[in-house]
Structure 1
Amino acid sequence: MPLITSAGVGSGLDLESIIKASIDAENIPKMQAFVKKEESLKVELSALGEVKSAISKLNDTVKKLADPDNFGKRVANITQPSSGDIISVTPTSDISVGNFDIAVKQLAQGSRAVSADNAFASIDDVVSATGGTLTFGAGTDNNFTLDVTAGMTLGELRDAINASDSNFGVTANIVNTGTTAGSKLVLTSNVTGDGNRLTVTNDNAELDAVSIGTTGGMTIDPTEDARNAIITVDGLEVQSDTNTFKDAVQDMTIKALAKSAGNDTDGYDTASLNVDYDRESVNTLIDEFISNYNNLIGNIGFQTRIGKPLNGDSSMRTLSDQLITTLSTTLTDAGPFETIFDIGLGVDNDGYLEKSSLVRSLNDAMDSNYDDIGTAFAGENGVAKQLETLLDNYASSSGLIKDREDGLNSRISDLEDDVENHEYRMASLEERLRKQYAGLDVLIAQMQQTQSYLGAQLANLPGFTKSK
């Protein structure tokens, strides 16, 4: 607080130092106590924040462990033939584990139509002098019409087909053969599967050359007709109108990427497919759980050591005890597992969670009772479900730690009010002292003036001799 440096001017006394010393004697111990208390509250608040953060991090992992879907994942391991990749596979969590040999006998394709030799000499040839309408189709659900204007050239027809907003998937190209065959219009349909052959009809005979099935019109070679994809699964033939086979093996999607090497006579190269439980993702999730659990235990231990802000805090001791109690929950419907310590987990002497093989290893448990591991964590009475409830009680927006934080923040706010009130009292004390010392300053100044006056008068009296 600012001090007005004017006290003592009249008397010559160092009244400013006296006022400052008087205020400091009252102010400094109190302010030091305020600072110490605020630091203590903020350190405690920070310690709670560290513990809360560790709880939230563990709870994020626990929520994943409480989701049965995370234990139902399957992984497809494919050994492709030496000739190259022929399939990709996406299993669902419902598929049974197993082994399959898969070959691709034929890929699905759409139609490819080519105009006749000498139908057009170049892309500038006129398709129709009077114009008309072309109707394109492929199967029962795909069709569109195109208006051909009078005098439209072959190149303009190509561009109009490709630019049509209603085009369902027909691509037009022109191949300039450089021979007497001239320029050829090539139409390719992306609609695959048997029965989806490309059709092009017209309403004007002038357009026969760019139609299919007309005299002198476009033709589709048998090898370039629309057809199904064909695969074999363990020797059983399966067909699809696209290269994607959904549920050819129940609950699995197989995509044909390339035709297998070989033939019907000598046999086709196969890809070996092994569908298994996604043990790696479960192992990773359990490792994450162990790491975040131990992080929380270590954090509690650190913050409750002697000299630390949460030393002796009963809520932290309670949380530690509840964590161990919850881990030790007796499981139901989890096969041979009575607690999660039966699936390859354990707790060391310091309370830290670890993978253990005292009863059986986690991998052994997966080998013998994989589904029961999911029940142990994510079942109705599973450990993860109970841990989730426990941790929510502490770390949620209405949890115990939030209540503690709100209480500490309220005390810090009250302390700030106390500091303001104290500063007001110190300002009042300074004002009162200045008034008191101002009076003293005036009185002493007057006495000094009187002394000087009397001394001068006495010095002028007859017979008065000033001492030397």
Structure 2
Amino acid sequence: MPLITSAGVGSGLDLESIISASVAAENTPKMQSFVAKEEALQVELSAIGEIKSAISKLEDTVEKLADPESFGKRIANITQPDGGDIISVTPTSDISTGSFDIAVKQLAQGSRAVTADGAFADADAVVSASGGTLSFSAGTDNSFDLTVTAGMTLSELRDAINASDSNFGVTANIVNTGDSSVGSKLVLTSNVTGSGNDLVITSDTAELDAIETYDADTNTSGGMTIAAEDVAQDAIITVDGLQVTNDTNTFKDAVQDMTIKALALSSGNDTDGYDTAELNVEYDRESVTALVDELIANYNNLVGNIGFQTRIGKPLNGDSSMRTLSDQLISTLSTQLTDAGPFESIFDIGLGVDKEGYLEKSSLVRSINDAMDENFDDIGTAFAGDNGVAKQLESLLGNYIDSSGIIKQRETSLNGQLDDLEDDVINHEYRMASLEERLRKQYSGLDVLIAQMQQTQSYLGAQLSNLPGFTKASS
């Protein structure tokens, strides 16, 4: 039977209003309770999310504090001489603090070989009519061979050297002197530095003698020469007057656990003395201070969030897990330290907790600056040691926001309740639709019955009015 959607048509009664009122009486209170429950769940979920976000921020900071490397950083402060920067320095976390005077007496360089005057008229001069092989080496582990093709010109040789895939670091250039007696010169520069690592060039044919630095057949010098100022040489620096030699400009462990790079020569000489750069290696106090400040800010942000969300009228008021977290935070901060020098607890290094539970810098025992002055390494142990506060906080916070943590379980439960509520609403809407359909069927029968009764009444009235002696009452 089709559903009648306009009840009361037959009877003239306002059955639509009756049906609507009946459905509303069932539907409205229930829907209001659904809405109220959803709002309560969403508010609680949002509050849990705020707490979770605050915990995550604190955990990020705690992870950095739990890393011993955060307390092992050193900074190198360099006062360069007036002539400009002569060194750069990279300290490691293992270096001891201290001060050093460093001078650069000599920079490392590779060798430079030049062809003889008149060897080649210009860049198009033929190097070899029949071709051959040139062998290049510098030091013990650097070498490559180059095939010289028949008729190769000087410019083509330059290009072949620079393009060779096996080239270890030889750069070829041509200098056109403009002097016909001198001609064009091939200049070969090696990047292999260090004393004894001069560029050596030999060939397998006399036609290439002009390109050699050494003639193996005659055991004599070849056509290319290396001037005294162009030989490969070591770098030489002094550290507090002690001379240190290295085959490159980068000195590793000249001062143990520190890399010094020579950038430029110091002014002066052995007689008058060399200008020095003053190097001071210190603990990186600023980065530690910044981490402690970050800890205070993010810890207090979490404490403030817990306090706000558990106030009267807030969704987490009276929540036992929040009370537990607050208690555990204070308890963890009070962890008894081991192997941290004079620091028995975190409060011994210049931190404290006020009456509201907020973390703050304190000088009741000693200030943080005093602690860093006196026992810098022990501060690292206090935070990042096996029993350090940061390690303990890291474990505590993980219990709340890890994949199986308390906060995660709480979120899962609330989201599950929201899903169940959504199903309840759908089921309720189905029941309300069924109720309306049932009411319409019931009132449809009533509508038809009343309409029939009205028709009968009209018919009887008409019949009676036609009977003899029937008179209508005067109006």
> TM-score band, normalised by the shorter chain?
over 0.9
In the TM superposition, residue 256 of structure 1 has moved relative to its aligned partner by 0.7
In the TM superposition, residue 213 of structure 1 has moved relative to its aligned partner by 3.1
C-alpha distance in structure 2 between counterparts of 1:308 and 1:335, whole Å: 44
C-alpha distance in structure 2 between counterparts of 1:191 and 1:463, whole Å: 143
Please state if 1:376 is matched with 2:376: no
The answer for the alignment partner of 2:218 in structure 1 is: none
- Please tell me whether the aligned partners of residues 341 and 375 of structure 2 are also in contact (alpha carbons under 8 angstroms): yes
TM-score by length of 1: 0.98
The answer for the alignment partner of 1:53 in structure 2 is: 53
C-alpha distance in structure 2 between counterparts of 1:340 and 1:438, whole Å: 81
How is 1:229-308 mapped onto 2 (pairs within 5 angstroms)?
A: 229-308=235-314
The answer for the alignment partner of 1:331 in structure 2 is: 337
C-alpha distance in structure 2 between counterparts of 1:7 and 1:206, whole Å: 118
Please state if 1:449 is matched with 2:450: no
Q: List gaps (5 residues or longer) in structure 1.
A: none
Amino acid at match of 2:281: V
C-alpha distance in structure 2 between counterparts of 1:94 and 1:294, whole Å: 34
CA-to-aligned-CA distance 1:27-70 (integer Å, 9 cap, x gap): 00100000100110111011001101111110111111111111
3-state SS of the aligned residue for 1:247? strand
- Please tell me whether the aligned partners of residues 111 and 192 of structure 1 are also in contact (alpha carbons under 8 angstroms): yes
C-alpha distance in structure 1 between counterparts of 2:263 and 2:400, whole Å: 52
C-alpha distance in structure 1 between counterparts of 2:461 and 2:60, whole Å: 92
Comparing 379-388 with 289-298, greater Cα deviation is found at: 379-388
Amino acid at match of 1:99: S
In the TM superposition, residue 299 of structure 1 has moved relative to its aligned partner by 0.6
C-alpha distance in structure 1 between counterparts of 2:409 and 2:114, whole Å: 78
Please state if 1:82 is matched with 2:88: no
CA-to-aligned-CA distance 1:265-289 (integer Å, 9 cap, x gap): 1111100000111111100111111
User: How many residues are matched?
Assistant: 466
The answer for the alignment partner of 1:207 in structure 2 is: 208
Comparing 438-447 with 379-388, greater Cα deviation is found at: 379-388
CA-to-aligned-CA distance 1:192-240 (integer Å, 9 cap, x gap): 1112110110111111111113566110011111111110001111111
TM-score by length of 2: 0.96
In the TM superposition, residue 423 of structure 1 has moved relative to its aligned partner by 1.3
After superposition, the Cα gap between the structure-2 partners of 1:360 and 1:216, relative to the gap in structure 1 and judged at 3 Å, is closer
- Please tell me whether the aligned partners of residues 210 and 217 of structure 1 are also in contact (alpha carbons under 8 angstroms): yes
How is 1:8-87 mapped onto 2 (pairs within 5 angstroms)?
A: 8-87=8-87
- Aligned partner (choices 409, 422, 431) of residue 415 of structure 2: 409
3-state SS of the aligned residue for 2:214? coil
3-state SS of the aligned residue for 1:454? helix
C-alpha distance in structure 2 between counterparts of 1:146 and 1:336, whole Å: 68
C-alpha distance in structure 2 between counterparts of 1:100 and 1:63, whole Å: 35
How is 1:69-468 mapped onto 2 (pairs within 5 angstroms)?
A: 69-180=69-180, 181-214=182-215, 217-466=223-472, 467-468=474-475
Q: Percent identity?
A: 80
Q: List gaps (5 residues or longer) in structure 2.
A: 216-220
- Please tell me whether the aligned partners of residues 174 and 186 of structure 1 are also in contact (alpha carbons under 8 angstroms): yes
3-state SS of the aligned residue for 1:137? strand
CA-to-aligned-CA distance 1:288-347 (integer Å, 9 cap, x gap): 111110110011011111111101111101111110111111211111111111111111
CA-to-aligned-CA distance 1:87-129 (integer Å, 9 cap, x gap): 1111111111110000011111101111111111110000011
Moved over 6 A (4+): none
After superposition, the Cα gap between the structure-2 partners of 1:339 and 1:16, relative to the gap in structure 1 and judged at 3 Å, is same
C-alpha distance in structure 2 between counterparts of 1:109 and 1:289, whole Å: 49
In the TM superposition, residue 251 of structure 1 has moved relative to its aligned partner by 0.6
C-alpha distance in structure 2 between counterparts of 1:45 and 1:151, whole Å: 84
In the TM superposition, residue 416 of structure 1 has moved relative to its aligned partner by 1.4
3-state SS of the aligned residue for 1:200? strand
CA-atom RMSD in angstroms: 1.2
